[in-house]
Structure 1
Amino acid sequence: ANVDQITLSLDAVTPEQYAHLRGVDALPLILEGMTRLAPYVPITTRTTVQRANFRDLSAIIRLAKDHGARKVSFLAVDTTNPEAFGARSAANAPALALSRDDLPIFAAVLD
């Protein structure tokens, strides 16, 4: 089978933060896989922007590019769908979203 591209989640720059956000200790494996596959297939990363990682967006972009990503995309955390991130985060959904106080910091990160 031909693979035209690979898209994967990259939500953190440290294994600890990745495990906290995704519930699995997979960041080293993801980065290794990206490095190995990048010469053969275009890789896109997708980052779910949330309170725990919005300050790290520049570092996430650098990490993605350093491991062969050709594109980086972002989406806002879905706090309205309890199934979006599984049962472990359904109760914490309100804490995942950026607060009003986070918005000026987020604007500075984007600049």
Structure 2
Amino acid sequence: MSHQTGINATSELKEFLARARGGAIRIMKIVIRNEELVLDSYREPTHSWDRDYDQFLLPLLTPQEPCYILYRLDSQNAQGYEWIFIAWSPDQSPVCLECLIYMLLKR
């Protein structure tokens, strides 16, 4: 897993993503630290995806820290569970190298 800017996922994140495909994880927050994609936090499902959504997602979003959120739905297709990808880049975050990297990745 890498991006057009050359940022790679840590081996821990890659292993976690493989485990998450099985459906045991509802949401995960991924951040860039030291020019690597790192798992910041995650939650396991407690209810249906729509009941978990607000209580799981909103606490992970902070005004100063850009991040990626992967949120697992309950529906599946031929490839497995369906996921929502959210790129959070808040306007209030201070201008820094991390923010610039996120902007490049969003293109």
- TM value normalised by structure 1: 0.29
Instruction: Name the structure, 1 or 2, with higher relative contact order (CA <8 Å, separation 6+).
Output: 1
- Determine which structure has the larger helix proportion and give its number: 1
- TM value normalised by structure 2: 0.30
- Determine which structure has the larger strand proportion and give its number: 2
